[in-house]
Structure 1
Amino acid sequence: MTVEIGEELLIGEQGQEESFEVLYTFEWKGENYLVVGLTKDLDEESDDPTVTAFRYSEEEDGTIVYEEIESEEEWNEVESRFMAYQDELENETYSG
Structure 2
Amino acid sequence: MAVEIGEELFFGEEGNEQKYEVVYTCELNEKLYLLAAPSDELDKENGEPEIIAFSYTEDDEGTLFYDEIESEEEWKQVEAKFKLYIEEIENEE
Partner of 2:60: 60
Partner of 1:92: 92
Q: Does 1:35 align with 2:66?
A: no
For residue 53 of structure 2, give the secondary structure of its aligned residue in structure 1.
Answer: strand
Q: Name the amino acid aligned to 1:81.
A: K
TM-score, normalised by the number of residues in structure 1? 0.89
- What 5-or-longer segments of structure 1 have no aligned partner? none
Alignment partners' CA distance in 1, 2:13 and 2:59: 17
Q: Name the amino acid aligned to 1:3.
A: V
Q: Name the amino acid aligned to 2:34.
A: L
Q: How many aligned positions are there?
A: 93
Partner of 1:51: 51
Higher mean displacement: 37-46 or 84-93: 37-46
Partner of 2:4: 4
Higher mean displacement: 41-50 or 72-81: 41-50
- 4+ runs of 1 displaced by more than 2 Å? none
Q: CA deviation at 1:7?
A: 0.8
Q: CA deviation at 1:60?
A: 2.8
Partner of 2:78: 78
Q: CA deviation at 1:46?
A: 4.2
TM-score, normalised by the number of residues in structure 2? 0.92
Q: Name the amino acid aligned to 2:11.
A: I
- What 5-or-longer segments of structure 2 have no aligned partner? none
Q: CA deviation at 1:34?
A: 0.6
